[in-house]
Chain A
Amino acid sequence: NAGVTQTPKFRVLKTGQSMTLLCAQDMNHEYMYWYRQDPGMGLRLIHYSVGEGTTAKGEVPDGYNVSRLKKQNFLLGLESAAPSQTSVYFCASSYLGQPGQPQHFGDGTRLSIL
Chain B
Amino acid sequence: AQKITQTQPGMFVQEKEAVTLDCTYDTSDPSYGLFWYKQPSSGEMIFLIYQGSYDQQNATEGRYSLNFQKARKSANLVISASQLGDSAMYFCAMESPGTASKLTFGTGTRLQVTL
Contact = CB atoms under 8 A, between A and B. Distances in A.
For chain B, give the interface size range: 20 to 34
A33 B102 contact: yes
Contacts of A42: 4, 91, 105-108
B56 to A, nearest CB: 14
Interface string A47-76: 010100000101000000000000000000
A45 B45 contact: no
A35 B69 CA distance: 28
Tell me whether chain B's interface is mostly helix, strand or loop, or mixed: strand
A94 B101 contact: yes
A105 B44 contact: yes
A107 B44 CA distance: 5
Interface residues of A, number: 29
A65 B110 CA distance: 32
Given A88-B43, A108-B43, A101 B105 contact: no
Given A42-B91, A43-B105, A48-B102, 17 more contacts: A35-B105, A42-B4, A42-B106, A42-B107, A43-B45, A43-B103, A44-B105, A45-B102, A58-B102, A97-B100, A97-B101, A99-B31, A99-B33, A99-B97, A102-B35, A105-B45, A108-B43
Interface of B: 4, 31, 33, 35, 37, 43-45, 47, 50, 52, 91, 93, 95, 97, 100-108
Interface of A: 31, 33, 35, 40-45, 48, 50, 56, 58, 88, 90, 92, 94, 97-108
